[in-house]
Structure 1
Amino acid sequence: MRYMTAGESHGKGLSVIIDGVPSGLTIDFEKIQSEMTRRQGGYGRGRRMQIEQDAIDVRGGIRHGYTTGAPISLFIENKDHTHWKQVMQAEPLEEALERPRTLTRPRPGHADLVGGLKYGHRDLRDVLERSSARETAARVAVGAIAKQLLAQLDVDLFSHVRSIGGVDAEAVDPTTRRELIEASPVRCADEAATEQMMRAIDQAKKDGDTLGGEVEVVVTGLVPGIGSFTQNDMKLDSRIAQAVISVNAMKAVGFGDGFDLARRPGSTVQDEIIHSEAGYSRRTNHLGGIEGGMSTGMPIRVQVAMKPIPTLYQPLQSVDIETKEPFTAQIERSDACAVPAAAVVLEAVVAFEVAAAILEMFGSSTMDRLKQTIADYKEEVRLF
C-alpha cells in the first residue's frame, strides 16, 4: 500500500492517490470527515481553519460505500483559494503584470531559503506553498482510510499531548482517559495541565510567539511479528520514525520510554517475557511494543517532539535574496500552537505505516481473505 499527495497551500486544493487498499473495505464517510474536523481543531489554531471546510471529494476507488481494489483518488478543496486565484494561477501572467505576493525574505526555520537554493526559485512562494503544513490535510484523509482498515482487524490507535511550551502533563495511563483526551482543547489527559497549556498558548499569542510540544501515539491490538529484522527499511520502528519525522515541524522521535532508556541500566529497561494460555506477552512495555524492528503484541508507544512553528508575528532577522540586505522575515498567516492538531496528523501517518506493514505481511487483495489469514496466524502464534 502506498500513497502520494499533490497540491499547494493556496492552490485549488489537495489531491491524494492511495494504491493497494484491499477490496471490500466498507468506508464510513462520516468518520473520514470527523478525522478532517479533528485536524482543524485544537487550542491555538489560526484564522485559516475558520475558512476551510476540508470536505472530502472521492473521485475513484470507492463505489457504493466499499473499496474496489482500484487506486483511491481523493480531492480536498481549498476554500481560501478564492482570495488567491491570480497569485496561484497555473496559466502565465500577462507580460505587464508582476508576480503578486512575491516572497523574497525567507523565514528562519522554514523551507523557504533552502528550497529556493535547491530548485532555483527567485520567488520563494514556489517553495512555501508546497512545504506548508496545509499538505497534512491530505495525509489525515489517507490515515482516516487506514484507520478504518485497522478497525476491521481490531487494531486501535489514538494520540495525546504530553507537553506544550514546557508545561508537562502528569504521567498517567492515557488508555483509561480517552474521553478526557478527546474533550480537551489541547488533547491532554491531565485536566490541570490542560489549563496551564492554554494559558501558555494565550501568552505566546499575545507576545507574537509560538509554542511546540510533545505528542504520544499509542497503537493497540497488533499481533506479534509485524515488520522485520531482515532489512533496515522493513523494520516497523524505522518506518514509523521516518513517517512521523516527515510531518512538518517534527524534530525528534522515541519509542516506549524514549530517551529515558539511555539513562538506565539494561536490567531496568528490557521487557521480561511471560507465557499463559493466551500465548506470550511481556511483564512491562518499556520498549514500546517493538523489538528487533517487529511488533511484540504489546501496545506500540511513539513519542514525537514538535518545534514551535517558525512563522512569527514578531519575525526574526532574515536577508532579502534580491538586495542581500538584512530584513525581518516576511510574515505569513500562522498558528500560535499547532501541537493538538499535529497529534491528529501523527495518528494518521502512524495508522498508514502500520496498515501498510500488515498488508505486506499478510498480503491479500480482499478484506475477507486478509481477516482469515490474520485469524489463522493468531492461532499459530498462540500455540507456538
Structure 2
Amino acid sequence: MLRFLDAGESHGKGLVAIIEGFPSNVEIDINRVNLQLARRQRGYGRGERMKIEYDQVEILSGIRGGKTTGSPISMLIYNKDYKNWMDIMDIQKEYTGKITVPRPGHADLNGILKYNLNDIRNVIERASARETAIRTAIGAICMELLNKFDVKIVSRVLRIGKVEDLSRVDMSAEENIKRIEESQIRCFDAKIEKRMIEEIELAKEKGETLGGEVEVIAYNIPCGLGSYSSYDRRMDYIISGAIMSIQAVKAMEFGEGIMASCSYGSEVNDEIIVENDYYKRSTNYAGGIEGGITNGMPVVIKVYMKPIPTTRKGIKTVKLNGEEAISRYERSDTCAVPSLGVVCENILAFEITKEFLNKFGGDSIEDIRNSYDFYLKRISRR
C-alpha cells in the first residue's frame, strides 16, 4: 500500500519524507519535481520568505539510474532560512525568548494546551504551511507515475476575496493552461487578474489578508477507483480528507455539489452515454465520482481557503497568563491562493496514485500496465 510520512519544521534544517509502496521502474525526472516546487512558490501576494527559499528536492534513496527501485523513497528539502534561525531552533539549548501570546485563527493556543508546552514556537513550526512544500514534492513523484497513464491534473484560481473569475474554460486545452501558468494570480481572465491584484494590494495596505477559491481537475481518471463497500474506501472521502488537511482550507466541493443542493434531481443527474466503446456521462455535475467510485469523467473539485490568520492588523487575544493582549505579527503572505491550486494538484496526485495502485496492483510499472490494459479492455462496451 502506498503511504508516506513527513517531518520537519518551518525554520528547522529542512523537511523530510519517506514514501513507501511506490513501484519499481518508474522513470523520475527530478527537474519536473522541482518545477512543482517552483510553481508552489510563485503567485502575487506571497511573502518575503519566497525570496529566500528556492526549494529543490534531494533524493536520498529509492531512485537509481533515473528510475524507482521499489524501495522506500526518501527525500529532503533544505530550509535556506535556517541559518538565520539556528539559535532559536537549536535542538539542545533552550531558547529564552518564548512566545506566550497565541494568535487567533492559528493552532497556537490549541496546540500548546494539547501538548503541554511552554513556548508557542513549538506549535508554529510544525503547524506552518511550509509543510506543504514536502507534500508537493511527494505528489510530484506520484505525478511521474500518473503521466505514464496520460493522467493530467491542472488548476486555476476562481476567486480572490470578492473578485471572481467566471470564465468557462476548457482546462484540458494546453493553450488555456499556458495562459493560466503565465498569470501572476493563476487566473484565466487578464482583466479579472488585474482586479485581483488590486484587491491584494488594498488588503496589504490595510494590514489584512485574503482567501479565495481554486478549481482543480484531474483528467483521464479510469472508472473504478475507490469503492462504495466501506465508508473509508469512498474516493470522495479519501480526497476530501487530504484536501481539508491543507493549512487554511476550510471547505471543498465536488463538481457542482453546491448548485445541485438547490436543484431538482433530474436537473443534475449525469446521463449515461457510450463514447468510443466506453460508458461516459453527457455532463459532469457529480465531479467524476458516483457512489464513492470514479466514473471515468474528470475529477473536479473546488477548494476554499480562508484568509491567512496572521495579519499586521492586531486582533484581540490573551497571554498565557490570562492577561488581555493584541496578537503578534509573524512574517506571512498577504494571499496564498495562487499557490493553493498547485498544492492541491500534487496532494490530489498522491491520493489518486494510492487508489490507482490499490486497483491495479503490481510491484513494477510493467505489471501495473498489464493490469491496467486488461481492465480497460474488460470494461469496454462490446
**Class of the TM-score when normalised by the shorter of the 2 chains:** over 0.9
Instruction: Give TM-score, length-normalised by structure 1.
Output: 0.97
Deviation at 1:277, TM superposition (A): 4.2
Q: Hey, what does 2:355 align to over in structure 1? A: 357
**2:46 corresponds to:** 45
Which of 109, 122, 133 aligns to 1:137? It is 133
Shift of 1:216: 1.0
Q: Which amino acid aligns with 1:38?
A: R
- Contact residue 226 and residue 361 of structure 1 kept, 8 A: yes
Tell me if the contact between 1:139 and 1:348 (Cα under 8 Å) persists in the aligned partners: yes
**One-letter code aligned to 2:221:** L
What are structure 2's unaligned runs of at least 5 residues?
Answer: none
Residue type matched to 2:249 in 1? M
Give, in whole Å, the separation in 2 of the partners of 1:217 and 1:347. 7
Matched, 1:192 2:191: yes
1:101 deviates by 4.0
Figure out how many residues of one structure are paired with residues of the other and give that number. 378
**Residues 174 and 42 (structure 1), Cα distance of their counterparts in 2 relative to 1, 3 Å cut:** farther
Tell me, in whole angstroms, the C-alpha distance in 2 between the residues paired with 1:15 and 1:237: 28
Q: Are 2:251 and 1:255 aligned?
A: no
Shift of 1:278: 2.1
Superposed CA deviations along residues 114-145 of structure 1, whole A, max 9, x for unmatched, are 00110011211110100000000000000101
Query: Cα distance 1:100–1:160, how it changes in 2: closer, same or farther (>3 A)?
Result: farther
Kept in 2: contact 1:54–1:76 (CA 8 A)? yes
Deviation of 1:157 (Å): 0.6
1:221 maps to: 220
AA aligned opposite 1:165: G
Deviations 1:76-109 (A, max 9, x none): 000111011011111134xxxxx24421111110
State the Cα distance separating 1:381 from its structure 2 match.
0.9
CA distance in 2 between counterparts of 1:58 and 1:238 reads 31
> Is structure 2 residue 77 aligned with structure 1 residue 76?
yes
Change (3 A) 1:227 1:329: same
Where does residue 162 of structure 1 map in the other structure?
Answer: 158
After TM superposition, give the deviation of residue 258 of structure 1 in Å: 2.6
Opposite residue 123 of structure 1, the aligned amino acid is D
Between the aligned residues of both structures, percent identity stands at: 43
What's the counterpart of residue 380 of structure 2? 382
- Whichever residue aligns with residue 52 of structure 1, its letter is E
Paired position in structure 2 for 1:238: 237
Counterpart residue number, 1:20: 21
Match of residue 36 from structure 2: 35
Task: Tell me the distance in 2 between the aligned counterparts of 1:174 and 1:189.
Answer: 11
| Root-mean-square deviation (Å) | 1.0
Give the whole-Å Cα distance in 2 for the aligned partners of 1:289 and 1:371.
22
Aligned residues of 2:138 and 2:350 also touching (Cα < 8 A) = yes
**Residue matched to 1:271:** 270
Give the TM-score normalised by structure 2: 0.97
Separation of aligned partners in 2, 1:250 and 1:41:
19
Q: CA deviation at 1:154?
A: 1.1
In structure 2, relative to structure 1, the CA distance for the partners of 1:134 and 1:269 (3 Å cut) is: same
Give the structure 2 partner of residue 153 of structure 1.
Answer: 149
- Render the CA deviation track for 1:178-213: whole Å, top value 9, x for unaligned: 111111111111222111111100111111100000
Q: Which residue of 1 aligns with 2:11?
A: 10
Give 1:174 deviation, angstroms.
4.0
Equivalent-residue separation in structure 2 for 1:239 and 1:338 (angstroms): 24
Please say if residues 167 and 188 of structure 2, whose CA atoms lie closer than 8 Å, have aligned partners that are also in contact: no
Structure 1: distance between partners of 2:18 and 2:96: 31
2:335 paired residue number: 337
Return the alpha-carbon distance in structure 2 between the equivalents of residues 315 and 257 of structure 1.
37
Q: How far, CA to CA, are the matches of 1:58 and 1:211 in structure 2?
A: 35
Mapped contact 1:8–1:135 kept (Cα < 8 A): yes
Query: For each residue in 1:151-172, what CA deviation from the matched residue of structure 2 results, as whole angstroms up to 9, or x when unmatched?
Result: 0111111111110101110231
> Structure 2 CA distance, aligned partners of 1:174 and 1:45?
27
Counterpart of 1:325, as a letter, is E
User: Does the 8 Å CA contact 1:254/1:304 hold for their aligned counterparts?
Assistant: yes
- AA partner of residue 32 (structure 1): V
* Per-residue deviation, residues 41-79 of structure 1 (Å, max 9, x unmatched): 011000001111111111111111110000000000001
Where structure 1 has 5 or more consecutive residues not aligned to the other structure, the ranges are: 94-98
Q: Distance in 2 between matches of 1:348 and 1:100?
A: 39
> What is residue 96 of structure 1 aligned with on the other side?
none
Q: Where does structure 1 differ by over 6 angstroms across 4 or more consecutive aligned residues? A: none
